[in-house]
Amino acid sequence: MFKSSPYMNPYVAGVCLGLVLLAAFVIMGRGLGASGAITSVVAVGVNAVSPSHAQGSAFYREYLPENKNPLKDWLVVEVAGLVIGGFISGLFSRRIKLTVDKGANASNRQRLLLAFFGGIIMGFGSKLARGCTSGQALTGGALLSVGSWVFMLAVFASAYAFAFFFRKEWN
Amino acid sequence: MAPLFQYGFFDNDASLLIALIIGIAFGFILEQAGFGSATKLAAQFYGRDLTVFKVMFTAIITALLGMFWLGWAGVLDLSRVYILPTYLVPQLAGGIIFGIGFVMGGYCPGTCCVAATTGKMDGWIHFLGMIAGIALFGEIFPLLEPFYSSSSMGQVTLDAYFSVPYGVAVFAVVVIALAGFVVAERVERKLNSIPVAEK
């Protein structure tokens, strides 16, 4: 068995991440994102099942441009890159492993159930906030957007406030 | 002059290639930082490992200072960088809901993709949950729309909101972040010195 490499120093990783974000600003005039691309996938899925339903919704329509493939979108391609980059990094540092990541005392079933419901809550929240940790907290944070800072502080405050209830999942 | 795309240095197809390259770099760094692991991310909220805070705020001040200097040097036209508009109350509510999902599910939207691609089953399940949550939002959107569009403030930045010069706001954020790093290092040292003795 090969031993996986240690993680990068957080401040070094932060500077690297900041430079990628800065590159996006300088080259494209826009920042990074994640939840928007996942919404495009949802909108395309709904449109495939029921085009009339998707076209009748102001929410889905925004992610379904008329004259082009909705998946040929900057954010969707960026997230496709994110998936590839994460995999390359995992290979590089020997961290690709089929596993369930959880605290030592949590069961797989409990962890997967909470991952699913946590995902539902997060997906919903990201839409209400018009973005996630990438598009709002990181990008909007660096652009000093008022709404992004309110979002970021709310995320941290809320996660700390509710951490007590999920302590058994992570211990 | 930058942003290069806004000044017509390349076309839309080339911009997608750039999206791919930037995305690969983004995913690579997230994984290297340890953000493909839910236990590492969630540890932030128990004070044991404040990597999330450190990486995020280092990234924010790096990009912020880069923007400030490139703008000052006249290389980057800051007014051409797209800022998401603020809808104060829905963003506050969305952040609170998002935070619950974060400590419950262990990932955020970007990091769950990195987790999934490195083999974490919980990352895959979290991703499916997010698909369901976004679809749920989409299905009840007509009900939510009045709230979703409420407290609209337009594209407003902290310096404009507090009526201070841009440079002052940048300086304040950098100072707060640096102070935060000092506190974070102390908290980690303090909390981690106890469990070691118990092991």
Q: What is the mean pLDDT of residues B120-138?
A: 98
Amino acid (1-letter code) at residue B7: Y
Looking at residue B194, its pLDDT comes to 65
Indicate whether A104 pLDDT > 80. Answer: yes
Instruction: Indicate if A116 and A154 belong to the same structural domain.
Output: yes
What is d(CA B94, CA B197) in angstroms, rounded to the nearest whole number?
A: 40
**pLDDT cut 70: percent of chain B above it:** 97
Q: Containing domain of residue A135, as a range?
A: 99-171
Instruction: Indicate if A65 and A75 belong to the same structural domain.
Output: yes
- Give the end-to-end CA distance of chain B in Å, rounded to a whole number: 57
- Using a CB-CB distance cutoff of 8 angstroms, which residues of chain A are in contact with residue B133? 119-127
Convert the pLDDT of each residue in B168-185 to its tens digit. Answer: 999 999 999 999 999 999
Predicted ipTM of the assembly: 0.96
Looking at residue B198, its pLDDT comes to 47
Interface touch A154/B126, C-beta < 8 Å: no
Looking at residue B193, its pLDDT comes to 81
Indicate whether B195 pLDDT > 60. Answer: no
Question: Considering the domain boundaries, does residue A2 fall inside one?
Answer: no
Convert the pLDDT of each residue in B8-64 to its tens digit. Answer: 899 999 999 999 999 999 999 999 999 999 999 999 999 889 999 999 999 999 999
What's the whole-number average pLDDT of chain A? 96
Instruction: Indicate if A111 and A132 belong to the same structural domain.
Output: yes
Which of these three, A51, A67, A97, is where a domain ends? A97
B159 touches chain A (CB under 8 A): yes
Instruction: Indicate if A83 and A15 belong to the same structural domain.
Output: yes
Question: Considering the domain boundaries, does residue A90 fall inside one?
Answer: yes
Dihedral sign from CA coordinates of B79, B70, A20, A69 = positive
Instruction: Indicate if A42 and A71 belong to the same structural domain.
Output: yes
Which of these three, A67, A97, A127, is where a domain ends? A97
Which of these three, A97, A124, A147, is where a domain ends? A97
Count the domains in chain A.
Answer: 2
- Using a CB-CB distance cutoff of 8 angstroms, which residues of chain B are in contact with residue A68? none
Instruction: Indicate if A105 and A85 belong to the same structural domain.
Output: no
Instruction: List all residues 6 or more positions away from A73 whose beta carbon is below 8 Å from its beta carbon.
Output: A37, A40, A65
Question: Considering the domain boundaries, does residue A1 fall inside one?
Answer: no
pTM of the complete model = 0.95
- Cβ atoms of B58 and A14 closer than 8 Å: yes
Question: Considering the domain boundaries, does residue A161 fall inside one?
Answer: yes
Looking at residue B197, its pLDDT comes to 46
Instruction: Indicate if A91 and A109 belong to the same structural domain.
Output: no
Indicate whether A119 pLDDT > 70. Answer: yes
Looking at residue B199, its pLDDT comes to 42
List, as ranges, residues 46-105 from A with C-beta within 8 Å of B: 46, 57-60, 72, 74-75, 77-90, 93, 95-103
Q: Categorize the per-residue pLDDT at B192 as very low, low, confident or very high, splitting at 50, 70 and 90.
A: confident
Instruction: Indicate if A108 and A88 belong to the same structural domain.
Output: no
What's the whole-number average pLDDT of chain B? 95
Instruction: Indicate if A19 and A84 belong to the same structural domain.
Output: yes
